[in-house]
Amino acid sequence: MSDIMKFEVENGIGVITINSPPVNALGVNARRAIAEGFEQAWADTSVNAIVLICDGRTFFAGADITEFGKPPQQPSLPELLEFIETSPVPSIAAIHGTALGGGLETALHCHYRIATPSAKAGLPEVNLGLLPGAGGTQRLPRIVGVPAALEIITSGRHVSAAEALSLGIFDALAEEGKLRENAISFALKIAEEDAPLVRVRDRQEHVEKHRGDQQIFDAFRKKNARKFRGFEAPERIIRCIEAATNLPYEEGVAEERRLFMELHDSIKSKAQRYVFFAERQTSKVPDIPKDAPKRDVNRVGVIGAGTMGGGIAMNFLNAGLPVTLIEQSQDALDRGLSVIRKNYENSAKKGRISGEQVEQRMALISPSTDYNDLADQDLIIEAVFETMPIKKDVFGKVDKIAKDGAILASNTSYLDLDEIAASTSRPQDVIGLHFFSPANVMPLLEIVRGQKTGTDLINTAMKLAKRIGKTPVLSRVCHGFIANRVMTVRGKQADAMILQGVSPEDIDRVIYDYGFAMGPFQMRDLVGLDVIGRGSNEKTVASELVARDRLGQKKNGGYYDYDENRKATLSPIAMDIIRDVASEKGLKHTPDADAQEIIARLLYPVVNEGARVLDEGVAIRASDIDIACIKGYNWPVYRGGPMFWADTVGLDKIVSKLNALEKEFGDAFTPSPFLVKLAAEGKKLSEVSL
């Protein structure tokens, strides 16, 4: 007898209720419980129809991801679903919350689906580097048609109940809060009608329409080539849907199974599954329980309406929180406000928000040049110029004005948060909230824990991050915190390599092929070379480009020249500058570096710096470093981040290459003793946690 399944009969309707918190994932216990429920229903001759429903926050949210990679346990999900589809009486899935992946596939093996208006359905396996492996690729096209199935399964998006109803994924909507009773009434009606039972697998009209139509698939591949680059799952999903269109159901399912297993065993899917759990780990802090005290944040102050301050403010406005925006002059304030408005208006032009929402969000801003207007704020975030005296001055002022219990946050990128906190009388109320540019877009929020930062502040910041749709990563104080610190070494090595004669174009191409959206030099040209080099007096290639008024794409080109279509070609001026700077520094010319060598010299130091960050206790776990690089620097998700990727390369291999590079190029490559120790012990870097 399963203790997570309840079977009841009401008016001749057998109701199978599964309760397997937190999300009713279809692990072995849930699968066995469902089978048992159907067996009980079939054994009861008074049962004329079956309702399959879940307790708790959601209908089945998919296969149990923790089971992947472990020995299979019977029944497998496909076996279970084939079994329930043989039901001699109508079966109705009653859906609330999110019917995802194997959860939706379960519903697609029932004869009917009824859902609450707030329910969502989707096949998000693509986000785990997988494809729906229990019939989803064969069944969804049979309901929604080939074009919609291609889009829904390759994007993995959650489809709203209203859309699911119009597409035919759901047959009916229940009243909110009355799913069980509405599903029973629906089942009674179906049982009374005594109509022939139609299985989704037998529905042909949508797939028949495109049989032999190669063009629809090729056009879809072409249109999405950029989006799918580097990922293995989308192409296999398309092949499955081609099979659904062209082959009998059984053969299509066999193809789906084969391609699912290929993905399941791939490193890229393992990386994406690791990332799924890593993302959910970041808010867990060993010395702070989830239910630890936290402070209320309902009103936010932002100081500085520049590049970062404006974007930071938008996060809170988007979440409906009023923001008092402070600048040092009316001009700067007006400039900041007009950038925010322009950003919102661009979103409205793209149809992402309505014109009314633009006005609503703008109306939530109280602009001011008077610090006294910060007196009532629960959270005050400083985003002024990056110099210690200015930061201290601002915090000193805020200390005098902010109410008791207000959280005082700095968005500093590199400065010592403890020194900033010491300029106030309340260092326990000071925290780092480090956003990434553009702050309204990039999903990473580093939460910087100073020596005296109160644990309630950290708990509050973790919850706040979720409220504004960011992924939090906790960092201790150090130069650059986690993401900037580990990624800066990549930039340094890229600079060193071009001075040794390796072409910036080769470096950019190798980094692009690894999976980044662009290489380091393309990135600098895009962001602006004046912004990149700000604050440094060292003579570099970038500073020389700026001295010749080459600021990147925005003015005269940078490392590259750009034509009217923004097509880039390596700039002869940049190449001259590279040669000049290199000869002034007396560097030896070693231009030969293949892709493997470029990867080793650019990315092994990132791994090495990550090991240092862990060893120093700056990050509390390796997977947090991976998430910081993925969410803050677009490290390709299918590589799992630098720590996970290092394990796939082999730590011993990385250490021995670093040793060789140290001999040739010096201490920038000296392996961290911690990394050496892990390699010697045969341990995994990505599993390190304090």
Residue 90 tokens read as 């109508």
The amino acid sitting at 665 is: F
What whole-number distance in Å separates Cα of residue 603 and Cα of residue 492? Answer: 11
Q: Which of 601, 591, 585 is nearest to 503 (CA)?
A: 591
Alpha-carbon torsion angle 663, 668, 670, 673, nearest 10:
180
Residue 383 makes contact with ligand NAI by CB under 6 A: yes
Pick the closer one to ligand NAI by CB: 411 or 623: 411
Binding mask 41-60 for ligand 3HC (x = CB under 6 A): -----------------x--
Residue 384 makes contact with ligand NAI by CB under 6 A: yes
**Piece in contact with ligand 3HC (CB under 6 A), picked from 34-42, 96-104, 573-581, 605-613:** 96-104
22 contact, one of ligand NAI, ligand 3HC, none, CB 5-8 Å limit per kind: ligand 3HC
Which residue from 14, 37, 102, 504 is in contact with ligand 3HC, where contact means CB under 6 A?
A: 102
CB-count burial class (<10 Å; 0-12, 13-18, 19+) for 237: buried
Pick the closer one to ligand NAI by CB: 441 or 690: 441
Residue 280 makes contact with ligand 3HC by CB under 6 A: yes
3-state secondary structure 23-55: CCCECHHHHHHHHHHHHHHHHCCCCCEEEEEEC
133 contact, one of ligand 3HC, ligand NAI, none, CB 5-8 Å limit per kind: ligand 3HC
Closest residue to ligand NAI, based on beta-carbon distance:
306
Which residue from 53, 63, 80, 461 is in contact with ligand 3HC, where contact means CB under 6 A?
A: 63
Q: Taking a C-beta distance cutoff of 8 angstroms, is the pair 414, 484 a contact?
A: yes
DSSP-assigned letter for residue 621: B
16 strand-pairing partners: 7, 52
CB of 609 to ligand NAI, least distance (A): 19
Residue 129 makes contact with ligand 3HC by CB under 6 A: no
Pick the closer one to ligand NAI by CB: 301 or 557: 301
What whole-number distance in Å separates Cα of residue 54 and Cα of residue 57? Answer: 8
Map residue 5 onto helix, strand or coil.
strand
**Piece in contact with ligand 3HC (CB under 6 A), picked from 125-133, 204-212, 502-510, 556-564:** 125-133
Residue 619 tokens read as 């990050």
465 contact, one of ligand 3HC, ligand NAI, none, CB 5-8 Å limit per kind: none
Composition of the chain by helix, strand, coil, percent to 5: 55, 15, 35
Pick the closer one to ligand NAI by CB: 2 or 328: 328
Active site residues: 105, 125
**Piece in contact with ligand NAI (CB under 6 A), picked from 98-106, 210-218, 429-437, 635-643:** 429-437
Residue 273 tokens read as 């599954």
The amino acid sitting at 486 is: V
What are the DSSP E strand ranges found in 319-401? 323-326, 365-368, 379-382
Host H or E run for residue 192:
helix 179-193
Residue 152 makes contact with ligand 3HC by CB under 6 A: no
Residue 390 makes contact with ligand NAI by CB under 6 A: yes
Q: Taking a C-beta distance cutoff of 8 angstroms, is the pair 173, 161 a contact?
A: yes
Q: Which of 394, 449, 442, 387 is nearest to 413 (CA)?
A: 387
527 strand-pairing partners: none
Binding mask 284-323 for ligand NAI (x = CB under 6 A): -------------------xxxxxxx--------------
Pick the closer one to ligand 3HC by CB: 150 or 529: 150
**Piece in contact with ligand NAI (CB under 6 A), picked from 166-174, 281-289, 430-438, 559-567:** 430-438
Which residue from 76, 224, 318, 328 is in contact with ligand NAI, where contact means CB under 6 A?
A: 328
CB of 688 to ligand 3HC, least distance (A): 19
What whole-number distance in Å separates Cα of residue 302 and Cα of residue 323? Answer: 7
Residue 303 makes contact with ligand 3HC by CB under 6 A: no
23 contact, one of ligand NAI, ligand 3HC, none, CB 5-8 Å limit per kind: ligand 3HC
Q: Taking a C-beta distance cutoff of 8 angstroms, is the pair 147, 160 a contact?
A: no
Residue 22 makes contact with ligand 3HC by CB under 6 A: yes
**Contact set with ligand 3HC (CB under 6 A):** 22-23, 25, 58, 61-66, 77, 98, 100-102, 105, 124-125, 128, 130, 132-134, 136, 277, 280
